[in-house]
Structure formats: structure tokens, C-alpha cells
Structure 1
């Protein structure tokens, strides 16, 4: 290469010293006023930026120059086979640096591995493309390849040797005795007889895998075995479809063997998949308008959907209500629902194989238009010492009203405190005598419920009977029974005197008659035998009953046939 000399001058007072740099690396220093830098036999590594600096006590000045040393191209890299056949290989590569002189051509050489004789597949005058087809090769044969570039300066270095092998010839024999088994909805197993490789030519190589080609309705697909075993499974098939199948043997090349015999089979059908686009078109306070579309998977080719089943349940309930069982339409209006309640709706399609995979949605009905609210119990809230009272605020449909619910006691707004506990639409009152006769009601927005009075007995009183009272009642009952026996004897005597056909009965027989006719008491829910005891009126004979009146604290004897409404006179007396 040539020698290159740079000259630099710098003037100033005092006279400046001159410094030389190559890409920030100092090359020379110390000369005053004028200096030169010489590069002997310039080479690629001398390429770069050269700087001359003049320095004195007053400051620094500098100048730069860029040197580009043109040399032959660098070696090519990444030499590979882009495409191969049994008699050719297409090569590709990446050029090295052109070193400031454009590449104007490539040379490609090759040889059969083990040979010392290189052959030229391409010379420099064939252009500067980075691909080359090498033809006239032998099947299933190893070759060595190298490439180098050229520019105006000269030819570069060759690439490293790349070893490549051509493909074998196509297999001359294919598999035989193809059959199928284990046919399911989306898969089928194939088996065949292997190729006798001893009958193949040496340049055909060996079988590496098999190709299973199948088609349905003029749509073709291919699956490959993992290795040379003489069996494989087709997957991802359509349900209820009839397929035609052949199998080819493959070696390392791109060619197939002759095909096997052809077989055909039909896959199974199944129940349908989920319906699609399940949703609602309208949600009201009492209804859900549900809509959906036919399943993408109807269960097989040409399999029809026969109908749909629609079920729903409220909240966390485990019990579903079947709304429609076999409807053909893809919509359902579910009515009679509770406002502001979450519902789960399940829709299931059905075909000839049965009901399929269910799909579900959850929807909450709208809040009802509030026109009235009711407080339960409606009139009196009883509170005992060991049993708090609970009042519930509900809409006219029996659902909780929308929040917030305002509770009032004696017209004052209350919340949980002391004897009162408020939880949304429920108010609980514990025993507290100061709340006796308090008036409670609930309010939502501007709507007010009925008013309920709190009934709390004082601590000194008892809602039951004392021991003395119970003893007095017992004595009264004994006395009453004695009087009843006497009265019955008098009645019987009068009937006998008046010509009636009444058979005399002993006291024991009368007692038995009383027991036999207790169930014939008439309207015994209206009166109590003894007020405050809860003991109902008891018939003593077929047409006679002894009872007490709520307004009279004594015993009354009435002829049931004449005095008691609805009674039937089955006796013979007057």
C-alpha cells in the first residue's frame, strides 16, 4: 500500500507545540510551529480521524482530517443452503465489509467432500447477488462450499467451508394395507404395513416419517407421524364427517412415495355445545327477556338442533325451575319474578343425541316502582323479656324496599342504639318498659308504612298465670264438672217426664259420653271454657254444651240444638 503524510502548522506567541491524535489516541507530540505525521504502507486499521492540535499559554487550536484506506472486501459469512433437491443446492450468504470500495462480484466454489479438486459454480463476472444455485449434483451426497467477494481493490478471503448434503431420490415404494380403528367424534387411528427398505435403491435413503393425507368435502389436510412407526392418529376432525385417507412414506427429501390404498370412515356425532351470544334484551322488575343463538357445535355435520331447555333459579337457591323444555325459538320471556333479585338462567341445546353443554348468565331484576310499603306485623309488635320483637318493612309484593329505609319510633328517626337494632328493612325491639305503647313505622322516600304499636308487659306482671290463679282455676273446674252432672240429671228427668225416649245413664256413662263427643264441640275457637285459660268449650252430650261467655264469668247451659249456630239436633228431647 502507499505511504501517507499529513502536515500541520500552528503560529502564535509563544510558538505553539503540536500534538497528533488518531481516533483520540496520541500519535506524536512536542514539535513547535510545524510538524508532519507519516503512515507507512497504509492498511485497513489506519482508517480513521486524525487530529492536529497547536497549544501555547494562550490556548489551543486544532484541525482534523478523515482517512479511508481502501482494501479488498472482508470474507463472507453465514453461508447456508436456502433450498435443496436431490440434484441441486441453492446457497445464500452475507457479505463482509466492502472496505470503502463497492463489491462487484462473488466467486462460488464447491467439491465433493473428501475430494481435493474444487470446481467453480460461479465466477466474479456473474454479478453481486448473494445467492447461487449449484446444479448437477449427485443425490444423497455430501459437498463442501466456499464463497469470496471482489471489489476494485481486489479479491477478499474465502468464507469458511460449509458442508451440505443433497436430498435422496424419491422413495420408489409406498406403504400398504392401510386400515382405521378407534374412530371417535374428532379423531381416528390409522395403521399400515411398513415399506421393505431392502427393496429401495441406495440413493433413496431410509424412511424417516409418514404423511397422512385426508380430505372431507373437497378440503384437504395433512398430518405427519413422529418417526417411522407404521401408525398414526388423525386429530381435530369434524364431527359426523366422512373422510377419505391415504398414507405416503417420506425420507429426508421433499418427495413422497407412491400412496397407500385409500380408506374412508365417518366420525361420531355428539350432543351440542354451548349456545352462543346468550344474553338479555330486556330486564324489568318482574321479568327477564332472554335471547341466544344456535351453538357453533351442533354435534356434527348435518346434525340439527331439535330444541332448547330454559331453566332459572333465584339467588343462591339450588333448585332450578324449568321454564321451557323443548322450545324451538331462541328467546324466552321469563315472568313473575321478584324485583331486585339476582337470577341465574341456564339454556341448553338438544339434538338427536340429547341435551348438550349448558350455558348460563346472571341478571338482577329491576327495582319495582314503589307505590306502597307495609310493616309486619300490621298492628301490634309483642315484646317479652326473653323474646324480642321484630318488625319488617316490605313492599306490596313482599320484597324488601330499595334502600335507604328510614325507621321512626314515636315519629323520631332512630338507628341501632339501646334496645333498638336496625338492619336495613328490619327493626328489632328488645325488652324495655319505656318503649311500651311506642308507635313505630318505616319510611322510604316520601312513602310511609302503616303504624304498629309496641306491646311490652310491665316487669311486675306476667303474661302467664300465677300458681294461686292456677289452683283457683283447678277448683273451679272441679266445681263446674259437679254442677254439670247435676244439670244433666235434671235435663234427663225432664225429658222422661215429657215422654221423651231418653235412656237413663250413670255418671260413668255420662263421663264416657263427654269424652266421645269432645270432638263435636261447635265453634270452640270463639269462646274459652274458662276465660284466660285457653281451654275450649267441651260438649257434654250430643246436643248440650257447657261454655263460658267472654262477657260473663259464670257457667251457661245451652241446648245445642237451639242456642248454638250450626249445630245439628241429634237428640230426642225438646
Structure 2
């Protein structure tokens, strides 16, 4: 190394040599730190009876672990099995003797070995018990006068004394203890084969209770004589849990007695886990605990947690599996504000056990995760908006909805929304009448659902402009009578609204079903009979007045129960108006159809006539328009009607009207059907104006056409009301 140090041109070589020296030194130190294992002395108990379970531990003195442990009995290797169990762990090895017998006596040696060597230590085990033959004596056949050698070799503890005598053979068993395992439901046979001189008797006990041969219940006992003694057996069919236990058989003859023990172990699925509890719940998870069940004589492999939703339509069964070491778990991915059912079952090598009792729990709520759907806004007169919507999808409620917030603000304003509270109902749709707003003003409307946890997201804003005029006031509705299938209603209307009202709309529904609509004409006697109802059912109903300015606010909603008991019935598909005389013959559909065709021809003739005299009528057009305004309560273009002016005072006398049509028109309807009702279509009020434009104006024949149209429309409304009634029942 000095030679290397004298070379300044190679300084790295010196460093490498020095490093190598320290590495070799550390390696040598490490080698000397290792040594062979050293076993601590061990011993067996001094007094061991047959049937006892014995355990002895072979441990090391040194800090080093052994690579392997081995056990010998009388210099023969021992392996884990039914008689012995060996458990090795680091610095020690445990030998367990399952049920000691006299054959278990002997010299036991523990051997520990690692890379550096080995060590061994022995101890003697003596099991007290009856002497047993090392070699079973056998009969010897010898000729007279010949010599014979008979070997008598026995073992036992204390060491037996051997004496020779000429005796008979007592009853005895070669195997004193036996374990029998059987699956529940199978059949099993337990045998006791006793040796000795006959006659011999064998009796059976189960858990110290005597089994009678006359009445053994599920056990059948059979005995038979063998060449060496007597064999007795018990047969059990369909083994169940109650058959677990210790069976003993006692053999007796004139020269002695002996006993044999059989342990019957019934293997079955585990029992149901007990004391299943829901310890903690959150919005999307829950903690479940339980107590360990009876294992069924086979170790539990795992637990299965089954759970499902407990509301609405049937839901899918969910399962979670946990190890047998756990008696609690947390279930995740649950729905907030939802009712669940949970149960636990155990499983071993035999199979799945019975499930525990069901436990119910409710997860905590979260704010709704979706906004209301199908939001619509309708202007209802000056400063009033009618808002309709549906609840968010049920799986996004995250609990039970408590209600809604209807938010509104002027579109041109930068202020935040003002909210109105609406209580949740179980209906398919919700509605709210927002009143006292500015006239002819644009508003933005949103709807928000909320539950106990808070509010969800807002719906998309919908803009709507309020009207500048008010519709009729709401009717004052009351019920005057009811029967099993009818409800009679009456109402009062503000007198100032009489001229603008065209018809009424009755809304009704049975219990929580959808609303049905019936159109009622504007009649003098404000009474109506709602027919074809279900006996013994609860109905809700309210009334609205309709006009060209819009529908009135709903009347007070009334709840009425029809007479009789609830049950199935055949539906009458017609609704009638009470308190009115029967319609004239010409007002019925079979007569109205040809009459309507005739009216159409008359109108065509009138139009042609008007065209022929157009020049003569030109100077009188303004006067004719004034007369037209007198005939119709509304203007042609939808604007408010002009005040009536007496033509006689402003213009010269009009020329005579055109001649009447070649055939007479039907007489006008009764006074109960006013002009607004007679000229109003059922569904679209705006169409009434368009239809008026198709008639000729300014002659008696034209007025006759108008009256005819009133008759036709009146009959149409009556028929349409019946169709509505039919449709509602069919729905």
C-alpha cells in the first residue's frame, strides 16, 4: 500500500484501498456477530392423564432466529395432523398434543437450525393410563412336547408390572377416543368394537344421559357378535345441531369392563349475527356493527352485508363483503334522505348462514341537486302571473321536499330576486299565483326546491310581461247538494263583470288524481250539476270565469264527498247543465248539421250580393261599420269596442237592406244564451274575432246569419263540454 501512496499521479487508488480495508473489517465483524441457535430447556407436566391436551414450547436463548424447527418423538419426525399441531413463529416453536393417550408417552426432541449451526433438546412425556401391548399377543399353536416362546411386552405409566396367569379375556377397547365430523343433514354411524369373551353387553350415553334401546328417538342402536367380541353402533339420519356432543359406550363381560369416547362434531353454516346496529349515519354512508355468531364448528370466512332501499318501487339488492376479523363496516354510495334496510350474514366452508334481523335506517338529507322542471308562466290580468312547474326528478330530491321558493324581479332591474314560499304537495305539478305586480311590466321568474338540508339550484329564468287590464273577478262558489254520482254547485259573479264574461271553466279532481276541466256557458241561472262521479269519493273543485281579457283568479277550492260507499261503477259520459230548459230541436246536432250547411250557402249568397251592390254601398260604409259595432261587443282588430252612436242623428237615412235569403232561418236561441257565449269558441277566444269577420254586415239577412252562428256555436259548446267530460273520465 505504501507503493501506491508514493504515486501522486494516482490519488484515487489510495482511497479505494482504504475503503476496501474498512469494508473487509466490517464484514468480518458482521460474521463474528452470528452464531448457531441455543434452545432453552423445556419439559412436560409430571402428571398427565389420558384425554388431556398438552402444550410445550421450544424457545431460543440467543437473539438470532432459527431458520427451521423440527420435532421428533422417539427419534421419529412429527408432523401436524389430527394428533399433533406444530406452530412455528420466529424464535419459538409450540407443540400441541390433541388428546393425550398412553401411546403419546415417549421422548420428544426439539431441533433448531440456522445457517451457522443447530441445537437440539429432549424431554420425556409420561401419560398415565392402562397398560397397553407393545406387540399384540397372538395365539400360538404348538405340538405336544415341543417348546414354545410367548412374548409379553407392554407399556404405560407408571411402568406396568407383567405377570403371567391363565385367565379369561375381559371386555376392552383398543381405541379409547375418537372424533367424528359430519355435515348437518348427512347421516353418520358411530361404532364401538369391544374385544373380550362373550357374552358381553354394551351401553350408550350421550352427554352423560343414558340412551335407551327401546326409545332412542332419532338414534338407532344395533349390536352384533364378532369373532373377537361384540360390535355396537348408533346410526343417525339427518344430523342436526342438537346432535353435537360426547357419546360414550361401556362394554362389560364377566371378567371386566372398558369405555370408549366418541366426540360428534356437526359441521353447519354459521348462525345469524346478533345485535346488528346502525351506529352512525351520514348523508351518503352509514356505519354497521354486529356480534360474532356461532361458527357452526367451522371457522367463519367472511361476513356479507346486504342492503336495499326501502321506499318507492322495489330496488336492487346490494352486497358488501368483509373479512371474518371484522365486526363492523361502513357502507358507501348511498342516496341522501333515503330509507334503507340492512342485514348481515356469516359464511364458512360449509356455506352461508341465515341472515340477521332487518335493521332500518334513514340517511341524512342533502340539498336537492336538481331544479324544478317544466316551469311555465302565464299572464293573468294586470299585475298577476300564474306560475306552474313540476318537482325535480325524485332521485335528486336528496330527502323529502318541504316546498319551493318562487323568485321574481323586474327584468330591467339589477336587484336580487324576491322569493315567495310555496308548501310542497303530493300532486304531479305545482302552481302559484303571483299577484300585486306592476302592470305591463316584464318580470323574470325562477323556482327553487328545498328540503330540511337547504335549497337546490334555481330553474332557468323565464321572462313574462304582465297585462295592463284585469280579467273578471273570481266567482263565489258553493255546493248546494250532492248524491252518490253528482255534485250540484252554484256561484255568484260580480255584476260589473257580466258583460265581459264569455263562459266558465270548472276544474275538478278525485282525491290526488289529475285535474279535469268542464266548460260551462255563461247562463242566467248560475248552477251546474257535475255528474258521473264515483260514490263515496272525495272531490276537489274550483271555478274560473273566462273572458277575452283573460281568466279570473280561481274561486275558493271546495272539497266534497259523494254519498254512498266507494266501489267500481260504470261511467256516464255526459254532463248536463242544471236549471235550464231543454235545448230547442233546431239546437241539436242532427238538425244543426244541415242548418249549418244552409247557413254557409246563405252567407255565400250574401257576399255575392254585397259585391254586386258595392258601388251603391260605398258611401254608406262608415255608417254600416257603426251598425256593426252595435251588433258586436268587440271590435274587429281586438281593440276595445267604440261607444255606440245613433246613426239616425249623424247620417241620412240608410238605403233599404238587401232582400232576405230564399229560405227561412231557424229562430234565435233562448235568452239564457247571451251573445258572448254564443259567439265564443271553446279553446281559443281569439278565434271568435276571426270568425266574425267572415259574416256579411248591415242587413237583416246578415243579422240572421249571426243569430244562426250563435245557435251553431251554442250547440258546439254544449257538445264540446260533453266531449271534455268524456275525455276526463277516460283519462
Same structural fold, with TM-score higher than 0.5 when normalized by the shorter chain: no
Higher helix share: 2
TM-score scaled by length of structure 2: 0.22
TM-score scaled by length of structure 1: 0.28
Higher strand share: 1
